Amino acid sequence: MSQTVTHKLMLYFPKCECEKPIIYHLVKDYNLIVNVYRARVTPEEEGYLVLDVTGTPADIEKGMAFVRTFNVTINHTGKGVTRDEERCTHCGQCVAHCPTKALHMPNQVTREVLYNEAECIECLACIRVCPFGACASAF
């Protein structure tokens, strides 16, 4: 059995696809483990979903092919939370509030704040505490 891998994805469901149980089929038919960070259905009935998908590369590929048969956009960068590099002043206010250290300050000399989006669990704390509006949610 080949090794499993984990991909972080952001899926966008237009109105017409919002009521279909697509994630259920990823689990049942494609043997994938899903870990949902954040999901939202807008008042316009569009859906956004940020999740980890774990499985063998072959199963993930098949699962994604299944998702693509719907009118769903797959964003492989999984960027539900983004940081505007230009707005960030590197003050470090977010660092104390970020539970997974996705926002961190590894270099003690320059004290630059870095953002490792793979570690982000989309709690949105950074958006609430950043005085400069540097962090934003895609939905």
CA distance 134 to 139: 15
CA distance 23 to 49: 10
Task: Judge contact between 64 and 26, C-beta under 8 A.
Answer: no
How remote is the C-alpha of 7 from its chain's centroid?
Answer: 10
112 binds another protein (CB under 8 A): yes
CA distance 97 to 83: 15
128 binds another protein (CB under 8 A): yes
Q: Which stretch binds another protein (CB under 8 A): 6-14, 29-37, 59-67, 102-110?
A: 102-110
Q: Closest CB to another protein among 32 and 94? A: 94
11 binds another protein (CB under 8 A): no
Which listed residue (29, 40, 92, 118) binds another protein by CB under 8 A? 92
Which listed residue (23, 95, 102, 135) binds another protein by CB under 8 A? 95
Q: Which residues pair with 135 in a beta bridge?
A: 83
Q: Closest CB to another protein among 45 and 112? A: 112
Q: Which residues pair with 83 in a beta bridge?
A: 135
Q: Which residues of this chain interact with another protein, rule CB under 8 A?
A: 89-97, 105, 108, 110-113, 128-129, 131-133
